Amino acid sequence: MVLFSRFVVVLFLVTVVSRFSLANARNGFEVVEHLNRLNKPSLKSIKSPDGDIIDCVHISHQAAFDHPSLKDHKVQMRPSYHPEGMKYESMKGSSENEVQIMTQLWHSKGSCPKGTIPVRRTKQEDIMRASAIKNYGKKNSLSSVAQPNSIDLDLINQNGHQHAIAYVQGEFYGAKATMNVWDPQIQQPNEFSLSQIWLLGGSFASDLNSIEAGWQVSPDLYGDNNTRFFTYWTSDAYQATGCYNLLCSGFIQINNEIALGASISPISKYHASQYDISILVWKDPEQGNWWMQFGNGKVLGYWPASLFSYLTESASMIQWGGEVVNSASDGQHTTTQMGSGHFPEEGFGKASYFRNVQVVDGSNSLKTPKDIDTFTEQPNCYDVQTGKNGDWGSYIFYGGPGRNPNCP
C-alpha cells in the first residue's frame, strides 16, 4: 500500500512537471512566434548607444501589411495634400533660452538606406514584461483617454490613469502642436508618463477611435526610463485593435529617418535649454488616410482610413496634454511626474508646454482653435493652464509632481 501510494505521488509529480514544462514550452514557442511576426528581415542593423537595435526593414516588408485589410494595399509614398497655412518655425523660445531641435540617439551610429524604414527591434525580455503576449504593446483600458464630459471620481480611483489636458470639440481633420520634451521620474515600473496629442472619434465607449502621438517614459514597455517618441491607434476603445508604434499591423511608415519607439535626445532641463518636437496629424482629403509629420517637414507615414469607423469621416475631439498611471502601490498617490514634474504656473523653462496649438478644419487649413477647455482629475497633483501670445499663438502649460502635501 505504501509503495502504491508512493507510485501515485511520483506519477502525479511527473504529470504536473510535464504539464508545467509543456506550458513553458508552448509559451516560449508563442514568444518566438510573436518575435518573428514583429522583427521582419532587415537589410541593415544599427546598435544605438542606449542598447536598442534599429533594423532597416524594406518598406514593403513592414508589419503593417500583416493587417487583413491591407494585404493588397499599395503604399502611398506622399500625401495628396498638406494642410494650408503650414509655417516652418524658427524654434525660438519666449525668453533668452533658445529652443533647440532634437534628434534620436541611434542617429549617432548610422542611418537607414532609402527604401527602408527604421524599426526598433523587439526583444524577448520586452514581451515577457507584458501581462500576456497578446497584451504586449497595448494600452489596457478606455481609462487611457481623458473623459472631460463625464467625471466619475470613483472610476478615476479605480483605473489609476490621470490626465491634465486642454481640448476642443467639433469637427476636425487634423491637429498640430510643438511640445517640449522631458524625462519625468517614474515611481513604479508598471507606471508611465506621457505627453501627446489625441485625435478622437465616436463616443467614449467600446467604439472609440483614437490616433495619438507624442513622447513617453514607460519602463514596462521599453525596459528603461528613456524618453521616447511614440504613436498609438485604436478603433475599439483599446480593446482588440491598435498598439504602440509598429508593434502590430496598421500604421504604414514611409520615412527612413525616424524610428517609432526610439529614444530622443537631448532633453529639456529645468531653468535651462528647452528642446521640443513638432507633430502634425491630418486627414488627406483625397485618399482619406491620416498622415503624421514629425518636425519641420519629415512626413513619417499614415494610418489607412480602412482601420477606422468614425475617423473615416473626421475627429470630434482633439486633446493636448499629459497622462500618468497612478498605481497607488503604497496606499498613497504616486510620485510619478507628469511633464517636467512642475506645475504649469512656473512657466517657460520650468513647466511643460504645447505651443502653436492648431487644428485642421474642413477646408484643410490650419487654424487656431476656438473655445479651448481644460480638464484634470486632480489639479493638486497635475494641473493645466492655457493662454495666447504673438509668438506662440495658443499655448498650454501642464504637468505636476504627483504626490505632494496637497496631493497625498
Write down the domain spans for the chain.
Answer: 39-399
Task: Give the model's pLDDT for residue 107.
Answer: 96
**The one catalytic residue among 89, 98, 191, 212:** 212
Among the listed residues 145, 118, 173, 194, the one whose alpha carbon sits nearest the alpha carbon of residue 316: 173
**pLDDT confidence of 7, banded at 50, 70, 90?**
very low
Give pLDDT tens digits for 25-56: 557 889 999 999 999 999 999 999 999 999 99
> Looking at the predicted structure, is the pLDDT value of residue 20 above 50?
no
307-341 pLDDT per residue, tens = 999 999 999 999 999 999 999 888 999 999 999 99
Residue 99 pLDDT level (bands cut at 50, 70, 90): low
How far apart are the C-alpha atoms of 113 and 81, rounded to whole Å? 26
Among 96, 98, 323, 346, the one annotated catalytic: 323
pLDDT tens for 181-192 read 999 999 999 999
pTM, two decimals, is: 0.90
* pLDDT, mean of residues 355-359: 98
Q: Is 96 in the active site?
A: no
- What is the rounded average pLDDT of the residues 97-105? 67
d(CA 303, CA 177): 19
Question: Residue 37's pLDDT is what?
Answer: 93
State the cell numbers at 128.
515577457
Integer CA distances (angstroms), 166 to 50, 104, 170, 228, 381, in order = 33, 28, 14, 22, 16
Considering only residues 20 and 382, tell me which one the structure prediction assigns the higher pLDDT: 382
Q: CA 401, CA 185: separation in Å to the nearest integer?
A: 9
Decide if 101 contacts 295 (C-beta within 8 A).
Answer: yes
In three-state secondary structure terms, 190 is coil
Give 93's pLDDT tier (boundaries 50, 70, 90).
very low
Record the cell numbers describing residue 331, joined without a space: 496606499
Helix (H, G, I), strand (E, B) or coil at 33: helix
Q: Is 377 a catalytic residue?
A: no
